Each structure stands twice: as C-alpha cells, then as structure tokens.
Chain A
Amino acid sequence: MNDDRTDSPDAAESAAHGHLLPQLVAHLREHRAKLRDEWATRIRDAHLLEAMTPQEMSAETTRVYDNYVEVLETGSVEALQHYARDLSERIIPRGVETHEVVGIVLLLRDVLARSLFEKYEGDFGLLNEVLDAYEPAANRIANTVAVSFVDERERVIRQQQDAIKELSTPVLPVRERLLILPIIGVLDSERARQLTEQLLNGIRTHRAKVVVIDITGAPDVDQTVANHLVQTVDASRLMGASVIITGLSPTIAQTLVTIGVDLSKMNTIGDLQGGLEEAERLLGYKVTRTEEVADSP
C-alpha cells in the first residue's frame, strides 16, 4: 500500500500502460475502505445479494475488492477464478442468481472507474491512458467472475441430474416374462420419460409378456405424467406386453378422473398383490402352497 508511485506527469504520460497500472493499484489500495463502502451501498441500493446477511456481505465484498485489485496488479486471473468458484459454491445453494453476481462485479467496475475520474479530473490525457489500462483488465475480471459462476452452476446442475438418474426406477423381473416396476417418489415428466425408456428396453431384454407398474409410492400424478403413463401402456402393447397398473391412491384416482385422462384401456388393479395374481393368471401360472400339492393325490 505504501508503494505509491509519484512519477511526474511527463513520465507517466510517456510510460507504457504497465507503468500506469501500479499507480492505479496504489490508488485503489489507498482508498480501499471508502471505495468498498461506496460499492456496498450501491449493491444495497440495487437490491442485489439480498440472500446474504450484512456481515457476510461486508466480508465478501472486502474479499472481492482485494481480489479485484490483485488481478489489476498481477494481471493473472487464476487466483480470482479460484475465489469466484469458491464463492459460487457457497452462494449458489442460497439462491443467488447469475444477474446478481454479474451485477455486483459491474457495480464495482463502475465505482472504481468513477474514483479514477475524480483522481485524474485535472488531466484529461492521463485519465484517458489510465482508463485504457484499467478497462481491459476490469472487463476481463467481470468475464472471469461470470464464467466461473456459470460454470459452477452448471456443475451443480449436472450433479443434481446425476443424482436424479440414480434415483430412477428399477425394472425387476419377478418371474419369467413378468416384470415389476415400482414407482417411488414424485414422477415428473423427465422421470416418466426415463421410466418408459427403461421399461421398453426391459421388455425387450427380458422378453416380458406382462408388466406390473406399481404406483403406490407416487404421491401425485399430473396430467402430463398421466398421459405419459397411458402412452407407456400403449407402447408396451405395441411390443407385445400387457401392462397392469396397481396401487392407484384415492387421491390419484380422483385426480385422474377429474382431469379427464382416458384410462379406459388401462388394466388397473387395487394393490400390488392383486396385480401379481392377475399377471400370473395372464401368464398361465398357478401358484399353490406346497402342502396342498403334497396333500393332493
């Protein structure tokens, strides 16, 4: 901070931008507290980062400010990139949006630019040169932060998508040519699509003739999903398998009829046990207790 270069105006003017930047950095360090507060005020006025507490805001703005100045000094964005990713990781779960992050960086850029205007008010030529040095660096910083934030967001989304995929529905062969598909949890259209894909492939792999889809574990079904379910039944039929749906809850039954989904072609049975019995009947299985078999002549 004490590295304040008091080069003569002539020298500064003749010097390359490389000489101006240190001067700039020194200026920003000198007025750190004032500029940071000004920036924080503008963030508040713009209603950005409202998910964060004032203390957090103060800590983060200080760190961002220091990182910002450091990039101007060293010209290397690596540390900033690292910090931005780290920051994103912390604030994304809090619901901070991309526009807020880009917004605060751009505000800082403006605040600092204004302070440069004040400092070099008297010397227009010098101001011009300072800005020539400052602007590309500032733009690069804004870019780096935005890209880091978006990258981190995408990473989180990918991670969540993978988690959803792992939650997906298993297709279980119970007997030869009989599959069970227990659906547990909310069935959104993405999951429904995945379910169909797995079921149809399962029918082919296991050469299934009957499939029991049990939706006891599904809390609710909307129109899109219900229609998708109907389509799944039709598609299974095209592949030569008949589908039995079991475990329709009272709520779902009422919803389906109220929203007017045509379920007349669907074979539905109260519970999984009944569904399995029906499937066995369709396949020609007859299940008897061993004692009864032993008793019969």
Chain B
Amino acid sequence: MNSGPALVSILRQGDTLVASVHTALDDSQMVRFQEDLVRQIGEYRARGVIIDVAALDVIDSFASRTLRALSEMARLRGAVTVIVGIQPDVAMSMVRLGMGMGAVPTALDLEEGLGYLTELRRLPRNHERTRHP
C-alpha cells in the first residue's frame, strides 16, 4: 500500500505505535513519514504514538515543525504523541534556535516514553493520581 520504501519503520505494540527515525530525513521523506503515521493511527486504532529520534544528530526547523504538526494531527485522530531520544547536543541547538517542541511531551528514551503513555492511560480510570502531599 506504500509507494517506495519507507525510511521510518512504524511498529505496532498493543495500542501504541513506535516510529523510529533511523536516518536524517529530507523534507519529502518527512512528509511521507507524516502521511504514513497519521494513516496508520486510524488503521490500528492507536491511542499512543512514540517517535524515537535518537539516531538524529540534527533536527532542523522543518523537522521540528513537522514533528509538532504530526503530534497535533495524531491528537485529532485520537492518539497522544511522545517524542523520545533527543540527544543533548540536538536539544541545546534546538533551544538555541528557538524551536522547542511546544506542548508536545518529550521523554528520555523509548522506555520512558512507554512509561509515560502507560501512566497517562491509567489516570482516567482511577481519577485520583496517587501523589504524596
């Protein structure tokens, strides 16, 4: 159903989609990734999306804008997006160039991201979040 090989592997784990970006994507590949992901959210009825960018040593303004847009699109399709694996240098240069992730949640790595989503899903059920005073 895809035209041409996809450069980002999107794996399904339960109701979470895990997308690992392995190489730097050019703008058209970024768009392709966005289309694939938004489509698959509906297909698999995903509730959470994790985008792992650990392999990227550069995240430019287009990429960060796309990631933010992607998260918003996923939200409209009913899934929460977490960006994970932003490297220290990447984080600093993103901030320095004024392109943060906005309201998109971020986590250290895949494990943390999954933990975040699990926590999030548990919340609506038991309304009171166990917090120590």
Contact = CB atoms under 8 A, between A and B. Distances in A.
Contact of B106 (A196, A197, A207, A238): A238
Interface in B76-123: 83-84, 86-92, 94-96, 100-101, 106-109, 112
Interface of A: 196-197, 200-201, 203-204, 207, 209, 231-232, 234-241, 281, 284-286
A262 to B, nearest CB: 12
Given A204-B108, A207-B108, A239 B132 contact: no
A174 to B, nearest CB: 17
A236 B108 CA distance: 9
Given A237-B106, A240-B107, A284 B95 contact: no
A230 to B, nearest CB: 8
B91 A200 contact: yes
Contacts of A284: 130-132
Contacts of A285: 132
A235 B106 CA distance: 10
Contacts of A201: 88
B94 A238 contact: yes
23 contacts: A196-B92, A200-B88, A203-B88, A204-B87, A204-B88, A207-B109, A209-B108, A234-B95, A234-B100, A235-B88, A235-B92, A235-B95, A237-B106, A238-B90, A238-B91, A239-B88, A239-B106, A240-B84, A240-B107, A240-B108, A281-B131, A284-B131, A285-B132
Contacts of B101: 238
Contact of A241 (B87, B90, B108, B130): B108
Contact of B100 (A197, A209, A238, A281): A238
Nearest to A201: B88
Nearest to A231: B95
